[in-house]
Amino acid sequence: MIVIENLTQTYKSGKGIFDVSFRVEEGEVYGYLGPNGAGKTTTIRGILGQMNADQGTVRIDNMDPRVDTKDVNKILGYLPGEMTFFDNYTGTQFLDYICNMRHLEDHSYRQELTALFELDVNMKIKKMSKGMKQKLGIVSAFMHDPDILILDEPTSGLDPLMQNTFLDLILSEKAKGKTILMSSHIFEEVEKVCDRVGIIKNGRIVAIENLNDTDLEVEDLLVVTLEEENDAIVSSPLNAKKLHGNQYQISVVNNYPEVLRELSNYPVVKINVKKQTIEELFMKYYGGDDE
C-alpha cells in the first residue's frame, strides 16, 4: 500500500534523508523509529507529496501523491507531528470544516471517536491544552474511516490513559485491515501495536525488524541469582555479566539447552527473564559506536 524507493531530500545544512526505501503492506502496522532530527518527519512529508524530493519515488496504493493528490487524500488519514488550528474555532467548528472539505456526511464515527477520547468539542481551540489538541487531531485524522493512516508522533501530549486508549484504537483499526505507518520514539507503544519496525539514523535506514518473526534473533536477558556470590560464572562459557552481589546477567539467543546445562553447575535460586525490548534493539544501532 505504501512503497518508498530511494527517497532523498538534502537540506542546505547537509541534513535530510538519503536513499530511504521501505514498503508497508496492506493491513500492516509499520513503526518508524528514530530520535528527533533523524528524518522521520521529512520521510513522511515525502510520502505525502508535500516536498519536491531530490530523487526517489513514492506510491500510495499505486498512486503518485504529487500527481494523484485528490484520490490519495480520499483514502488517507494524516496526523502531523505539529498541528496548526484555527484558534478562534471551537472543536466542533474545526471538525465541521474538515468534514465539509472531505464531503463527509456520515458523522457517526466522528461522534464515536469524540466520546472515546473524552474530547470537549465545545471548547475554543485556543483554550485547549496540548493533549486536547492532540485528541482533536486524532479525531480529524480517523473520522472519515480511511484505508491508510500516516501518524507522526501520534501520542505526543496524551496522558498515559489516553495513550493506551489510542493504542487500543490502532489495534482496532488494524483488525479492520487498515494500513498504518506510525513514527515514534516511544518504544513501548511500537512494541505493542507494530508488525515491523524501520529504524532511521542520520537520515538513513539502518535496520528493518519484523516483530512477528519467531526466527528473529532477539536476545533474552536472564537475571540469575545464585545462593552466594560466585564470580567464576563470569569466566564460564555462559559469558555472564555481573550486576551486583550474587546477581548476574546472561544473554540467550536460541541456545537455552546449552545455557541451562551450564547453569546446573551453579547453585541457582532464582531466574528472571527479560526480553530484549525494541529500545535495546534500537540502542544497538544508536549506541556509542558509529559502526
- Strands (E) in the chain, as ranges, are 2-10, 16-24, 29-33, 55-60, 76-79, 148-152, 179-184, 196-201, 204-210, 220-226, 241-244, 247-252, 268-275
**Residue 185 neighbours by CB under 8 Å, 6+ apart:** 33, 34, 35, 36, 153
Cα gap 257→102, rounded to integer Å: 59
Same structural domain for residues 238 and 161? no
Cα gap 181→49, rounded to integer Å: 15
Cα gap 241→175, rounded to integer Å: 42
179 domain residue, yes or no: yes
CATH number, residue 192: 3.40.50.300
123 domain residue, yes or no: yes
- Of 125, 126, 154, 130, nearest to 141 by C-alpha is 154
Do 144 and 90 touch, CB atoms closer than 8 A? no
53 domain residue, yes or no: yes
Same structural domain for residues 238 and 198? no
pTM across the whole model: 0.80
Same structural domain for residues 143 and 34? yes
282 domain residue, yes or no: no
Same structural domain for residues 202 and 247? no
Q: List b or e across 194-204, with b for residues whose CB sees 16 or more CB atoms inside 10 angstroms.
A: bbbbbbbbbbe
Same structural domain for residues 190 and 261? no
Cα gap 70→74, rounded to integer Å: 7
Same structural domain for residues 47 and 107? yes
Same structural domain for residues 199 and 236? no
287 domain residue, yes or no: no
Same structural domain for residues 126 and 259? no
Domain that holds residue 42: 2-210
R_g of the chain, CA atoms, integer Å: 23
User: Based on the structure, what is the number of domains in the chain?
Assistant: 2
Same structural domain for residues 197 and 236? no
Cα gap 50→231, rounded to integer Å: 58
Per-residue pLDDT of the chain (291 residues; tens, 9 = 90+): 999 999 999 999 999 999 999 999 999 999 998 888 889 999 999 999 999 999 999 999 999 999 999 999 999 999 999 888 999 999 999 999 999 999 999 999 999 999 999 999 999 999 999 999 999 999 999 999 999 999 999 999 999 999 999 999 999 999 999 999 999 877 778 888 999 999 898 999 988 888 776 555 566 789 999 999 999 999 888 878 999 999 999 988 778 899 999 999 999 999 998 766 666 666 666 665 444
